[in-house]
Chain A
Amino acid sequence: MIYAIASGKGGTGKTTVTASLAALWDRPVMAVDLDVEEPNLHLFLHPELTGEEPAFMEVPERDPKRCTLCGQCAAFCQYKALSVMGKTLLLFPEMCHGCGGCLLLCPEKALSPGKRELGRIVSGHFRTDHLSSGREEDAGFPDAGFLMGRLRVGEAMSPPLMRQVKARLPQGQSADILIDSPPGVSCPAVNAVMDADVLVLVTEPTPFGLHDFRLAVQAFRSLGKPLGAVINRSDIGGVGIGDASVQDFCRAEGIPVWAQIPYNRAVAEAYSRGEVAASAVPELRAMILALMARMQGAAAASQSASATPGEVQHA
């Protein structure tokens, strides 16, 4: 099963929730960081990294001896990655999306596949036991998998790197996969969650949190996957700092609330020290375990033929 943890607004607690879930997950698990622009999960899970490879996109290279400057490639390219200027064919590899159209089209075979580095794919494993309580029954699976993409600074396109990271995911049901997604609701975020079985949206009861949560629900609901909300800093509405509108919105839209995590400065401080919040703050541990059970329940329900996707009980 693939579980994607996403949010519209950044900084609502995606990585805190993902790291906590990964540390406490009660089945074989792989934690995957698809926020390739700003991957952070490793800063909390402290995985032992065993592999790092560059990821490339195919971009055209030209053979000036063959090129007749006919300009068909430049006229075809939707991304303006090729252009005929005077007596040269100019290439702008950073504009290329790697569709391969120009190579197919060139009547002189003057273009050949070259490459541009998108970033790195880093793999390893993390130990869940030292992160949790230390009790034997909580030991978890000592060699949980870890995978992340890290976009090259200056590279504009994150979805192609994300696709290559996703191609490395283990097939079949050998391990559950937890995906830490990028913030937002446009192409990178959709790319991160589109192959997941269950979506978890992390939000907070503030005007920005609600606004971006609405956008996320709009973007992700049409994917037809079971979806639940985690309301972080859930009580700030009650004490007159935030507002209660996220809870109201979930109720009105029939979105199940899988966890409500009250504000706790200890969580923010544990985070600032690079610790897994659920291990550092005992109150959080039970909430994350309950969230895990709800996520697994939603996955099981959507698998059984009788269940309608999205039909899960309210918390």
Chain B
Amino acid sequence: MREIVVISGKGGTGKTSITAAFAHLASTQGGAMLCDLDVDAPDLHLLLAPDRREEHEFRSGFEAVINPETCVVCGMCFDLCRFDAVQRPSPEDFLGYGVDPLRCEGCKVCVQFCPAKAIDFNEKHCGQWQASNTRFGPLIHAQLFPGSENSGRLVALLKKEARTRAEAQGLSLILCDGAPGIGCPVISSLSGASQAVLVTEPTPSGRHDLERVAELCRHFRIPASVIINKFDLNLGNTQDIEDYCMEQGHAVLGRLPHDEVVVRAMVQARCVTELPATAFSESLRSIWERIVNLEPTAQARPELIQPTPNA
């Protein structure tokens, strides 16, 4: 089973538009199990128009709730909470102590040590996940409720579902759209992946964030290759990023031009590769061919792939 995760460090570099196009191209070559691991702000479904077949609740973690009837207002919970989640009663209101659900980490310390056993510990319903069909094949996706926690656990759950279902349906490829950043959902999305595709742009922040996400991939020993989107915004920076990739042993899969076709496709809920051919979509096709042909053993070696000529 091959598992490709598209991530970027920096948001807005084009991860989702590129993943959707890969999903289209993969569907013409045996298909893939698709998976949107950006559970916080998922967008892949906007391009793939999924037909939802299953919907499940995602329950994870707990939150403390103080019962005002039994609370003896001793303040123990306030003193012990490391997350400043317990709020002291104010002289004007008679509501007693309370827990701010946005700050509560569900650690159970207040529940355990409350001398009056006045704190309930309730499981949290953090979001929903779905199994759907799309014109390019099956999609596993989710929506964490805004403001919720445990995105890493939801990502792990989606990946597990994707693997089981891919196997059952005889699909040998899992294609995942990841989240921005380098924190818990991204780490979770890299776990067990065979390859990371890093999408960057030739700006100081694109470069900076690429370096951090590439370091994360090295940390977890996931082979990572790089796509430079909007390369024509700054050719000097593009060249510098390619030099950096060569030095660090990350294959450069290709360059994509800054092209409004990406937004045009998005507005039509289509992939760029479904629209009439452009320089952007043609470059993307050759990038996909390179990904398909990357030898798993060769991925870790730096010298294998030359940058694409300018689109």
Contact = CB atoms under 8 A, between A and B. Distances in A.
Our verdict on whether A and B bind, yes or no, reads: yes
B182 A98 contact: no
Given A9-B43, A43-B205, A190-B147, A101 B109 contact: yes
A111 B303 CA distance: 49
A110 interface: no
A27 interface: no
Interface residues of B, number: 65
A305 interface: no
Given A9-B11, A208-B16, A190 B102 contact: yes
Interface string B13-55: 1001000000000000000000000011101001000000000
A124 interface: no
Interface in A54-107: 76, 78-79, 97-101, 104-105
Contacts of A183: 11-12, 41, 180-181
Interface in B97-124: 102-103, 105-109, 112-113
A-side interface mostly: loop
B267 A243 contact: yes
B267 A186 contact: no
Interface string B224-252: 00000010011001000000000000000
A98 B40 CA distance: 24
A15 B10 CA distance: 11
B234 A273 contact: yes
Q: Which of B82, B188, B220 has the most CB of A within 10 A?
A: B82
A250 B155 CA distance: 31
Interface string A184-196: 1111111000100
A185 B80 contact: no
Interface in A174-221: 182-190, 194, 206-208, 211-212, 215-216, 218-220
A140 to B, nearest CB: 22
A9 B40 CA distance: 10
Nearest to A274: B204
A163 B102 CA distance: 13
A37 B183 contact: yes
B43 A211 contact: yes
A247 interface: no
Contacts of B187: 154, 156
A208 B220 CA distance: 30
A38 to B, nearest CB: 4
B306 interface: no
Interface string A229-256: 0000000100011110000000000000
A211 B40 CA distance: 12
B198 to A, nearest CB: 13
B260 interface: yes
A128 to B, nearest CB: 19
B11 A241 contact: no
A38 B9 contact: yes
A38 B212 contact: yes
B10 A38 contact: yes
Nearest to B185: A186
A139 interface: no
B7 to A, nearest CB: 11
A10 B40 contact: no
B149 A186 contact: yes
Contacts of B62: 78
12 contacts: A8-B41, A10-B41, A98-B82, A153-B182, A153-B212, A153-B216, A158-B183, A183-B181, A208-B46, A212-B43, A215-B41, A273-B204
Interface of A: 8-12, 15, 37-38, 40, 43-44, 76, 78-79, 97-101, 104-105, 151, 153-158, 163, 182-190, 194, 206-208, 211-212, 215-216, 218-220, 222, 236, 240-243, 268-269, 271-274
Interface of B: 9-13, 16, 39-41, 43, 46, 61-62, 80, 82-84, 102-103, 105-109, 112-113, 144, 146-149, 151-152, 179-184, 186-188, 201-205, 208-209, 212, 215-216, 219-220, 230, 233-234, 237, 258, 260, 263-264, 266-267, 269
